[in-house]
């Protein structure tokens, strides 16, 4: 085995650890360690994509590790390395179409970390790596332990509003004094009110059923909380209105209501268009968390500037500004609670504001109501690239060495699994250079259908062709520097082009009244330009680059180190 092959096999064996220990190699080189991974503070102001410059420079074609030899590794570091090796074996087994073997390798990877003795000084590193592996393995399970399945229909979830706003809950008189004290002790940008309507929802959100709804949304809010609060501060909107998203969608970007309001902030199509949320047969900006949050903040601010009252602005967000204006004109009262008492607004809107105020009060005082603060889901960390040709998310996932479900989850607005021309696509943090270099090797007009395959030593040309429903001759034709003899002893980590065919488009499916609504299917078109890097949402902790380069117009790919050497700081 030559030096280069050893380096590549070593890189392929090491997954995204919190601390990347240097590995011994026969030369003088080693990988630079990754700094300790820290999740961003949920209340911190995360930078927006728009604030970052466009970068078009390409990375070098090959990763060349440099630096001195590492110091002796601890028992925990060795266990992490061994666990990561089995995780990589599991990923290779997935590529080979062996799900049972993949599960066995994944189980071994987890058990190695679980079996470490308690009391080791750096055991928290192993525990953190264990949690990361659980998230990554779960994403492969979402792909049915195979990343080739295409998604041609978006899957929506039911808006939680449908479960609570049509109901009436009893009032616990014992809550009055406690709530009054909590409101007086809390500094809030949103006016807080205590009355029977608010108390009834406090009673609901603190009982067994309601608290599950509340805490589930609060847990998911960790993904977007920092971004939402930053946008609200920039647009001059009270931070407590974050609970509007909790009521509207439970912080689920794919939520949809009976009235076809869609996304985390539940925009109908016409209102979304007013605030720049565009849509096509390939994308729907209402499902983009940051774009929709910006639109919601501006809409709420505009409603407040027009009406002059935050409670009325919240009501208008729910039933429309025209509905509130007509109610004010009929009654002569520009006061939400007066309109509510006179039944001048719809029933859902009569419960909408009390429910959101109750959420804000309970979330600020969880312990007082016997509730435990849930562990918030980690904030999303990602890089952003711009594709100027239509590109499948499956191809981008191949280039990033990530599960397709992970890339889809980061791009809910791309409803058909295809990024349209000039779309900005989010990818796992630290993978922008890898993805750009790999996509450059794929012919421009084939990025909707073609795939990239990372070869393992157990691969054979017929198995690879069968996996992607293509032929061995077709694979050899587009990888001009490879011969059949290469597959007699394939090298781990080698990226090859796969001339796969795009999945056929199915007939349109109409929406049904159920918890999962379906949309029409897009027809296919082709793109025509390379990709360019746009932004990094979270700073990468290391620069282990997987680079590929085109050797001909057919997109032959040079040998590369496994991109899995870089930690993916992206939550489930």
pLDDT of 396 reads 96
* CA proximity to 371, closest of 194, 221, 215, 251: 215
pLDDT digits (tens, 9 = 90+) for 440-497: 999 999 999 999 998 887 788 998 898 888 999 999 999 988 888 888 888 778 899 9
pLDDT at residue 386 tops 90: yes
Question: For the residues of 436-465, what is the DSSP string, one character each?
Answer: HHHHHTS-GGGTTT-EEEE--TT--HHHHH
- Give the pLDDT score at 167: 63
Reading the block at residue 280, the tokens are 């096509």
- Mean pLDDT, residues 246-273 taken together: 91
DSSP 8-state class, residue 543? -
Does the pLDDT of residue 220 top 60, yes or no? Answer: yes
The residue among 157 and 38 whose pLDDT is bigger is 157
Contacts 24+ apart (CB under 8 A), 111-114: 112/79, 112/82, 112/83, 112/86, 113/79, 113/80, 113/83
Of the pLDDT bands very low, low, confident and very high (cuts 50, 70, 90), residue 4 is: very low
Q: 122-136, 153-167, 265-279, 389-403: which range is least confident on average?
A: 153-167
**pLDDT tens figures, 233-252:** 999 999 999 999 999 999 99
> Which range among 225-229, 234-238, 546-550 shows the weakest confidence by mean pLDDT?
546-550
Six token digits for residue 440: 């450059």
Q: Which residues contact 20 (CB under 8 A, 6 or more apart)?
A: 14, 31, 33, 34, 542, 544, 565, 567
pLDDT attached to residue 533: 54
> Which pLDDT does position 26 carry in this prediction?
36
User: What confidence score (pLDDT) does residue 31 get?
Assistant: 31
pLDDT of residue 40: 33
Q: Which of 266 and 14 is assigned the larger pLDDT? A: 266
Cα distances (Å, whole numbers) of residue 57 to 50, 167, 432, 433, 534: 19, 57, 11, 9, 11
Q: Percent of the chain having pLDDT more than 90?
A: 45
120 or 43, which is more confident: 120
Q: Lowest-confidence range among 384-398, 415-429, 545-559?
A: 545-559
Class of domain 158-369: mainly alpha
b/e for 229-249, b at 16 or more Cβ within 10 A? bbbbeebebbbbbbbbbbbbb
Q: How far is CA 241 from the centre of its chain?
A: 22
Q: What is the residue whose two structure tokens read 């792909």?
A: 143
Give me the pLDDT at residue 142, please.
Answer: 53
384 Cβ contact list (under 8 Å, min separation 6): 49, 52, 424, 425, 426, 427, 432, 534, 535, 536, 537
Q: What is the pLDDT of residue 499?
A: 95
Mean pLDDT value across residues 8-16 = 37
pLDDT greater than 50 at residue 23: no
* pLDDT for res 489: 81
Of the two residues 103 and 37, the one the predictor is more confident about is: 103
pTM for the complete prediction? 0.66
pLDDT of amino acid 262 = 93
pLDDT at position 553: 36
CB contact at 8 A, 227 and 293: yes
The pLDDT, as a whole number, for residue 525 is: 37
Range with the lowest mean pLDDT among 97-106, 157-166, 175-184, 532-541?
532-541
Tell me what the pLDDT averaged over the chain comes to: 76
To which H or E segment does residue 185 belong? helix 175-185
> What would the mean pLDDT of 76-96 be, rounded to a whole number?
80
Q: Does pLDDT of 10 surpass 50?
A: no
**pLDDT, tens only, 330-341:** 999 999 999 999
Q: Using CB atoms within 10 Å of the CB of residue 188, give its burial: 0 to 12 exposed, 13 to 18 middle, 19+ buried.
A: middle
Contact 8, 514 (CB under 8 A): no
**What is the per-residue pLDDT for 89?**
79
- How many angstroms from the chain centroid is the CA of residue 286? 15
Cα(521)–Cα(500) distance, integer angstroms: 20
pLDDT tens readout for residues 510-523: 334 333 333 333 33
Q: What would the mean pLDDT of 525-535 be, rounded to a whole number?
A: 46
Other CB atoms closer than 10 Å to residue 265's CB: what's the count?
29
Q: How confident is the model at residue 95 (pLDDT cuts 50, 70, 90)?
A: low
157-158 and 255-256 as β-strands: parallel, antiparallel, unpaired?
Answer: parallel
**Token pair listed for 466:** 């069968």
Provide the pLDDT for residue 84.
85
3-class secondary-structure state, position 110? helix
What does the pLDDT look like over 351-373, one tens digit per residue? 999 999 999 999 999 999 999 99
Confidence of residue 106 (pLDDT cuts 50, 70, 90): confident
C-alpha–C-alpha distance, residues 354 and 203, integer Å: 12
Mean pLDDT of 192-212: 92
pLDDT given for residue 283 in this prediction: 94
Domain boundaries, the chain: 3-151+380-565, 158-369
Q: Residue 569 has what pLDDT?
A: 30
The more confidently predicted of residues 173 and 510 is: 173
Q: Using an 8 Å Cβ cutoff, are 571 and 377 in contact?
A: yes
**Structural tokens at position 365:** 């005082």
Query: Residue 16 gets which letter from DSSP?
Result: -
How far, in Å, CA of 554 to CA of 428, rounded?
27
Using a 10 angstrom Cβ sphere, with 0-12 exposed, 13-18 middle and 19 or more buried, the burial of residue 307 is buried
What digits encode the pLDDT tens for the residues 278-314?
A: 999 999 999 999 999 999 999 999 999 999 999 999 9
Does residue 42 have a pLDDT over 50? no
What value does the mean pLDDT take over residues 539-546?
A: 38
């Amino acid at each position: 085995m030559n030096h280069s092959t050893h380096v590549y096999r070593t890189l392929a064996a090491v997954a995204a650890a919190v601390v990347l220990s240097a590995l011994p190699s026969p030369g003088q080189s080693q990988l630079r360690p990754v700094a300790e991974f820290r999740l961003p503070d949920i209340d911190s102001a995360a930078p927006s994509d728009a604030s970052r410059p466009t970068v078009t420079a390409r990375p070098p074609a090959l990763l060349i590790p440099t630096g001195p030899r590492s110091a002796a590794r601890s028992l925990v570091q060795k266990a992490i390395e061994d666990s990561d090796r089995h995780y990589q074996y599991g990923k290779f087994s997935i590529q080979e179409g062996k799900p049972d073997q993949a599960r066995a390798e994944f189980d071994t990877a987890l058990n190695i970390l679980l079996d470490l003795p308690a009391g080791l000084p750096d055991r928290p590193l192993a525990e953190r790596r264990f949690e990361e592996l659980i998230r990554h393995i779960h994403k492969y399970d979402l792909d049915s332990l195979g990343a080739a399945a295409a998604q041609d229909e978006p899957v929506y979830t039911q808006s939680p509003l449908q479960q609570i706003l049509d109901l009436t809950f009893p009032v616990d008189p014992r809550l009055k004094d406690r709530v009054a004290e909590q409101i007086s002790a809390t500094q809030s940008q949103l006016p807080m009110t205590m009355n029977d309507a608010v108390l009834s929802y406090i009673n609901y959100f603190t009982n067994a059923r309601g608290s599950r709804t509340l805490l589930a949304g609060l847990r998911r809010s960790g993904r977007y909380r920092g971004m939402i609060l930053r946008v609200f501060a920039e647009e001059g909107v009270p931070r407590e209105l974050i609970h509007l998203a909790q009521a509207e969608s439970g912080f689920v970007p794919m939520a949809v209501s009976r009235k076809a309001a869609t996304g985390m902030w539940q925009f109908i199509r016409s209102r979304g268009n007013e605030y720049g949320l565009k849509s096509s047969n390939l994308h729907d900006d209402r499902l983009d968390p940051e774009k929709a949050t910006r639109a919601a903040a501006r809409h709420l601010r505009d409603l407040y500037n027009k009406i002059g009252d935050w409670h009325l602005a919240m009501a208008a967000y729910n039933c429309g500004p025209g509905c509130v204006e007509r109610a004010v004109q009929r009654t002569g009262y520009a006061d939400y609670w007066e309109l509510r008492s006179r039944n001048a607004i719809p029933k859902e809107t009569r419960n909408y504001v009390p429910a959101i105020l109750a959420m804000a009060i309970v979330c600020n005082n969880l312990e007082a109501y016997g509730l435990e603060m849930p562990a918030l889901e980690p904030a999303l960390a990602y890089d952003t690239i711009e594709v100027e040709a239509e590109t499948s998310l499956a191809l981008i996932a191949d280039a990033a060495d990530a599960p397709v479900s992970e890339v889809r989850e980061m791009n809910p607005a791309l409803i058909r699994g295809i990024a349209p021309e000039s779309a900005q696509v989010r990818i796992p943090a630290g993978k922008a250079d890898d993805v750009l270099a790999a996509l450059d090797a794929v012919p421009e007009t084939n990025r909707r259908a073609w795939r990239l395959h990372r070869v393992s030593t157990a691969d054979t040309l017929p198995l690879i062709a069968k996996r992607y429903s293509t032929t061995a001759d077709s694979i050899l034709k587009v990888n001009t520097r490879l011969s059949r003899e290469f597959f007699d002893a394939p090298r781990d980590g080698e990226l090859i082009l796969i001339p796969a065919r795009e999945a056929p488009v199915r007939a349109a499916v109409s929406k049904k009244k159920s918890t999962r609504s379906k949309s029409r299917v897009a027809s296919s078109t082709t793109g025509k330009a390379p990709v360019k890097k746009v932004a990094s949402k979270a700073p990468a902790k290391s620069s282990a680059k997987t680079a590929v380069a085109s050797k001909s117009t057919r997109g032959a790919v040079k040998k590369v180190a496994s991109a899995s050497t870089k930690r993916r700081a992206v939550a489930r």
